Structure 1
Amino acid sequence: MNTQANTAMSQEAPPPSADARVAARDWPATTAELDDYGCAVLEKLLTPQECRDFAALYAREEHFRSHIEMARHGFGKGEYRYFRYPLPELLDGLRTALYARLAPIANAWNERLNVAMRYPAGHADFLRLCHESGQTRPTPLLLQYVAGDFNCLHQDLYGELAFPLQVAILLSEPGRDFTGGEFVLTEQRPRMQSRAEVVPLRQGDAVVFAVHNRPVNGTKGAYRVNLRHGVSRLRSGRRQTLGIIFHDAR
């Protein structure tokens, strides 16, 4: 009887907090992957139910400040909506917890590249810098693609202050909800051919990746390589993604 009761309680236990689930990740391994490839996967950052809950918000306009149709701006095909403040609690918690783990990586990259900017340890302090620079609009977003849609290779830079890493969480399940639609990252090194990285994701997985550039070690020290990211053509179904950008926009 006690065993059954304990099992029922275990099944009903809520998911860990944003802080707990982020803290539980292998950050030394994640740091190494980011240093080597410019991206790293955090598996099962969201539960399937949380993915469905976020995806369902797309139809509720009260959560968003703007709606963008990519084709109108030459961004590709598909659409996305920027959240308004206040953000949903879990999204706000993940943005804060992930920033705290990524800020030391960003600072180490800037040090290697001899860039003076150092990011504060806490996300609230970084947002304060953004707002003092006139960047006050929230940047987390929900993206939606249907068959034939794609996202051109791009960089998400919204002002003078741009955090060099961001996160995308896949809310849909490949093979069940959609086919195609792979996350793609390209890296262009000086005097070399571009390198492409296709990142396989499952529902609830997050990919952390470089927004603009990152350091790569060369014979004369670290040098800067530029990166762009996008989504390949969706073959069928619908693909939804939660994007977490850490700097605010003008």
Structure 2
Amino acid sequence: MSSQKSIPPTDPWRERVEAANWTAITKEVNEYGGALLPQLLSTEETVEFRELYNSDELFRSTINMGRHRFGEGQYRYFNTPYPKPIEQLKQALYPRLLPIARDWWGKLGRETLWPNMLDEWLEMCHEAGQARSSAILLKYGKKDWNALHRDLYGDLVFPLQVVINLNEPGIDHTGGEFLLVEQRPRAQSRGTATLLPHGHGFVFTTRDRPVESKRGWSAAPVRHGVSAIRSGERHTLALVFHDAA
């Protein structure tokens, strides 16, 4: 038997998350409700995810957005256990997003329910009846779009989530900007549009977030969506940090 110490397996997804400038990301998401993340999936990994879309055994449910008046296009909820990149990215992102979430809820005078570990938080969701998997693979074709909405799924909500573009903008698709619309207290709605680079993540507000005014901190509801695809095809991976009822 070798006396050498075993080398722990590499986790490229955690390394990519940890390489981000989280001070700058926190500042950006506090200002605008969303922030661009570094490349979280390699080109090869994005291709692999796109190819998974037709593997029916990997998914628990398929939603036709037009049928439900959610826009146009289709998305599928992954079964658990998740493919390794999904699980590893969620595990790596959660502790980085947790301080932002706790800060937001503290400013709003709300109780911060989330424990330090993602698995403990998901167990709380399951005990509350939210036991269905929530990672999503979305597919858009020409003229498809996603209506403004919020991914709530139950009473227990984590206030931040992440989306990753699996295609190359300008080559695989045109259009398809990621949209955020924030309703500020006693003010007009504010919108932002972001064209997500290939393989990069974008962290954004799930339900609402604190905004400061002369009267203190107030909750600003936020909805997200996707603008119309002008040409080509666009796939995205959505990572939600609470499970569904």
TM-score range, shorter chain: over 0.9
> 93, 97, 119: which one pairs with 2:114?
119
Indicate yes or no: 2:194 matched with 1:203.
no
2 CA distance for matches of 1:155 and 1:246? 13
TM-score (norm: length of structure 2): 0.94
2 CA distance for matches of 1:119 and 1:97? 15
Unaligned runs of 5+ in 1: 1-13
Q: 1:8 aligns to what?
A: none
1:166-217 deviation line (CA, Å, top 9, x unaligned): 0000000111101111111001112211111011211101100001100011
Q: 2:213 aligns to what?
A: 218
Q: CA RMSD in A?
A: 1.2
Q: 2:129 aligns to what?
A: 134
Indicate yes or no: 2:143 matched with 1:148.
yes
Q: 2:22 aligns to what?
A: 27
SS at match of 2:158: coil
2 CA distance for matches of 1:175 and 1:24? 26
2 CA distance for matches of 1:15 and 1:179? 35
What amino acid maps onto 2:238 in structure 1? G
Percent identity, please. Answer: 48
SS at match of 1:71: coil
Unaligned runs of 5+ in 2: 1-8
TM-score (norm: length of structure 1): 0.92
What amino acid maps onto 2:64 in structure 1? E
Indicate yes or no: 2:177 matched with 1:182.
yes
Shift of 1:104: 1.3
Contact 2:20 2:38 in 1 (8 A): no
1 CA distance for matches of 2:222 and 2:43? 30
Contact 1:187 1:196 in 2 (8 A): yes
> 160, 163, 167: which one pairs with 1:168?
163
What amino acid maps onto 2:186 in structure 1? R
What amino acid maps onto 1:58 in structure 2? Y
Shift of 1:67: 0.5
Contact 1:110 1:118 in 2 (8 A): no
Question: Which aligned runs of 4 or more in structure 1 are off by greater than 6 angstroms?
Answer: none
In terms of mean alpha carbon deviation, does 117-126 or 167-176 score higher?
117-126
Contact 1:167 1:207 in 2 (8 A): yes
Alignment of 1:38-187 (within 5 A): 38-187=33-182
2 CA distance for matches of 1:15 and 1:202? 25
Shift of 1:116: 1.1
